[in-house]
Structure 1
Amino acid sequence: MKIFDTISEYLDVLEIEHGSEAGDLFVFKIEDYFGDRSFEVGPYRHNFFEISYGQGHDVDVQVGDASFNPSDKMLSFSTPFNISSWRINSFQDNSLGYMLLFKPEILNKTYHRIDLYRNFQFFNINTSPALALADEESTMITGLMGTILQEFQERTSTSSSTILSAYLTILLEKANNLYQQPNAQLVFSNRAEEIAFLFESLLKEKVSYQRHLGDYAAELNISTSYLSESVKKTTGKSAKAVAKEFLMLNAKAELSQNKDTIATVAERLGFNDTSNFITFFRTEAGLTPNQYRKSP
C-alpha cells in the first residue's frame, strides 16, 4: 500500500502538474484532469486532509469501510491515515467536481491538527466519510470551492496564503453545519458503521473517564455488547480503545491549549484523583502531562 507524506507525491501519482505550487494546500477541478480518461488509484493513505465534491461522476470510491459513488451531489472527506481507493469510470455531460488537499499548517492561526479532529466530525476516522447534499447546499459548497480554486490560481502575494486559509476555514465550518443537521444524509454501509458514528458523536460531547460503555449504549438504546461488536466491526478497535483514544485527544488538547493546572485538567476530564490521570496519560503517551506540556 502506498503512503503519501506530501501533497506533491500524491499529485505525481494522479499525473497532475504542480511545479512548486503544492505545499500546504492544492485545489483543482476534477474535470480538468480526468474528464476524458478512466483512472484508478489505491489503496493508499496520505498524511494530509482531503475534501472532495462530485456530481455526475461514475466513480467507485472507498474510504475506510465505506463505499459510495458520487453520482449526485456528494461531499466526501478523507483524513490522514484513512485507507482509500477510487476508480473513475465515466462522467456525465453536466458533471462537476473539486478536490482540495491541505495540511493543518495552512490553518495554524485558526486550528491545530488536534482541533481538526476535535471540531469537525467528518475528519474522525470512525465517522461517515460522505454526505449527500441538497441543491441549495451543493450550490453553496461548489461556490466556496470555486472561489478557493480561483484564489489559488490567482495568488500573487504573501497575503494569498492568509486569504486561502480564511476561505478554507469558512468551507470547513459550513460543511460542519451541514454534517450536524438532524436530517443530514450521511452515507453508511451498514448499521454497525452508523452505530460507530453515533458512539463517536457521543464521545465528542460527553467523553469522561468516569463514563462507562454501558452509559453510551443506554443513550443509543442498544446493549453494551452490540455497541462493542459494532465498533469493533467498523474500526477494528474495541469500543474501550476508541473511547480511550478520544479521551487522550481531549487531554492533549487541554494540556497544549490552556494553562490550567494538571489537577484542573484531570477533574475536567472526569478523573477524581490527579495521580490516576498522570498514570493514565503516562501509560498512553509515554510522557507525564507536565512533560507533554513542555515538549516541542
Structure 2
Amino acid sequence: MQHTTPEIENIKELLQHMHLDVYQKHEDFHILKFEKHLHEIPKKLSFKSKGFFEITFSKSKRTHIDIDRKKIELDKEHLLFLSPGQTMNVDSTEETEVDDTFIILFTSKFLDFSPSEYHIIKRFPFFNMTIFSVYYTRKEVSKMYLDYMERIYNEFQNINSDSIEIIKSLLTMVLFETKRKLNEHLNISPLNNSRKAEITYKFENLIKHSEQKNQKISFYAKQLHISPVYLSECIKATTGKTAKSILTDYILLEAKTHLKNTSKTIDTIAFELGFNDTSNFINYYKKNTSLTPNQERKKI
C-alpha cells in the first residue's frame, strides 16, 4: 500500500508529528535544538508543510533527505530552506552526531515586514515553491549562523514580549545575511549546482519578480536566453513538473495574496497579473481552484 505523506497545516501540527508539542511556546515561531530531543523525535519523518517556513542549520554528516522526491545526502555543514507546499522526508537512522543542529519554524505573520507568504517567497531567492534550496556553508560563515541560532534558541527558552522582539530581529538578520551572501556569491555554495537546476532556480525567481506573470513560457525563456523547449526540459528534469504548472502556482499565490491582503478590485488584480480580460482571469482562477476570485475573497 502506498504511503501518504501527511499535510501539516501549522507549527503546532508539525510539533505533534515530531512528538514535541509539549514544548510549543508560540503559535507562529519555534526553534528546535536537535540534540535536546534526540530520543523523542522519530528517526524517520515525512510531511508536506502548508502554512510555515523552515530553516535548518546543521553540521550533520550522515542525514538522508528527500525533498519533493529529490534525494540528497548531506555530508557537510549546511543550510536548508523549506517553503510552504514542499514535501520533506528525513531519515536520520544512521545519524549519531547531532551537535549544532537547529531547526527554525516560522509563519509569515511572525515577521513584521512580511504581510504574506508570497511576500517572503518573492523577497528571498532561497525560498522557492518548487526547487528546494540547500547550501553548504564554509567555516567562517558557519560560525556566524551557529551564533545566530544559539542566540535565538537562548532567547526562546524564557520567552516574553521583549525576547520575541529580539528573536524577530535575529531571524530577520539571518534572512537578509543569507540573501546578501548569495548575491555576493561569497561564503555559501549551492548543494545542487547543475545547469538544469540553475535554470529552474532562475526561472522561479524570474516569475517572482515579473510584474505581469501571465505570459507564455517563451517570454520567460527569452529572458533566460534559452529556447522554450530547453527551459521546459530543465524544469521537468529538476522538479517533475511542467513550466506551465509552476507558473500557474505563482499566479494563484499572488492572486490569493491580493484577495486576502488588499481591497483591490478583481479588474485591477487581473490587469496586474497580466490578464487582458477580467473574465479570462475569473475563468482561469475557477479552473485551478474551483472558486471564483470573489468566492475566494469571501472565504478568506
Q: TM-score range by the shorter chain?
A: 0.7 to 0.9
Structure 1 residue 130, shift from structure 2 partner: 0.4
Q: Secondary structure at the match of 2:126?
A: helix
Establish whether residue 59 from structure 1 lines up as the match of residue 63 from structure 2. yes
Maintained 8 Å contact 1:56/1:73: yes
- The match for 2:129 is 125
Tell me, in whole angstroms, the C-alpha distance in 2 between the residues paired with 1:221 and 1:233.
19
Aligned match of 2:232 in 225, 228, 235? 228
Structure 1 residue 239, shift from structure 2 partner: 0.9
Tell me, in whole angstroms, the C-alpha distance in 1 between the residues paired with 2:256 and 2:237.
27
Tell me, in whole angstroms, the C-alpha distance in 1 between the residues paired with 2:24 and 2:101.
23
Q: State the identity %.
A: 28
Establish whether residue 275 from structure 1 lines up as the match of residue 283 from structure 2. no
Question: What residue identity is the alignment partner of 2:142?
Answer: S
Deviations 1:89-127 (A, max 9, x none): 34569x522111233343367332332333233332322
Q: How does 1:27-176 map to 2 (within 5 A)?
A: 27-34=31-38, 40-47=43-50, 48-88=52-92, 89-90=94-95, 95-107=99-111, 110-155=114-159, 157-176=160-179
Structure 1 residue 27, shift from structure 2 partner: 1.2
Q: 1:235 to 1:207 in 2, by over 3 A?
A: farther
Maintained 8 Å contact 1:52/1:76: yes
Q: 1:210 to 1:7 in 2, by over 3 A?
A: closer
Maintained 8 Å contact 2:19/2:40: no
Question: What residue identity is the alignment partner of 1:101?
Answer: L
Q: Secondary structure at the match of 1:225?
A: helix
Q: 1:217 to 1:75 in 2, by over 3 A?
A: same
Q: Secondary structure at the match of 1:234?
A: helix
Q: Secondary structure at the match of 1:122?
A: coil
- The match for 1:193 is 197
Question: What residue identity is the alignment partner of 1:45?
Answer: K
Tell me, in whole angstroms, the C-alpha distance in 1 between the residues paired with 2:142 and 2:181.
10
Tell me the TM-score normalised to structure 1 length. 0.81
Q: Secondary structure at the match of 1:123?
A: coil
Tell me, in whole angstroms, the C-alpha distance in 2 between the residues paired with 1:72 and 1:32.
21
Maintained 8 Å contact 1:59/1:69: yes
Question: What residue identity is the alignment partner of 1:222?
Answer: I
Structure 1 residue 198, shift from structure 2 partner: 1.8
Q: Secondary structure at the match of 2:43?
A: strand
Q: Secondary structure at the match of 2:62?
A: strand
Q: Secondary structure at the match of 2:32?
A: strand
Q: Secondary structure at the match of 1:72?
A: coil
Tell me, in whole angstroms, the C-alpha distance in 1 between the residues paired with 2:173 and 2:37.
26
Tell me, in whole angstroms, the C-alpha distance in 1 between the residues paired with 2:12 and 2:267.
44
Tell me, in whole angstroms, the C-alpha distance in 2 between the residues paired with 1:265 and 1:39.
44
Q: 1:253 to 1:19 in 2, by over 3 A?
A: closer
Tell me, in whole angstroms, the C-alpha distance in 2 between the residues paired with 1:274 and 1:83.
34
Question: What residue identity is the alignment partner of 2:234?
Answer: S
Structure 2 gaps of 5+ residues are: none
Tell me, in whole angstroms, the C-alpha distance in 2 between the residues paired with 1:111 and 1:174.
20
Q: Secondary structure at the match of 2:48?
A: strand
- The number of aligned residues is 293
Tell me the TM-score normalised to structure 2 length. 0.80
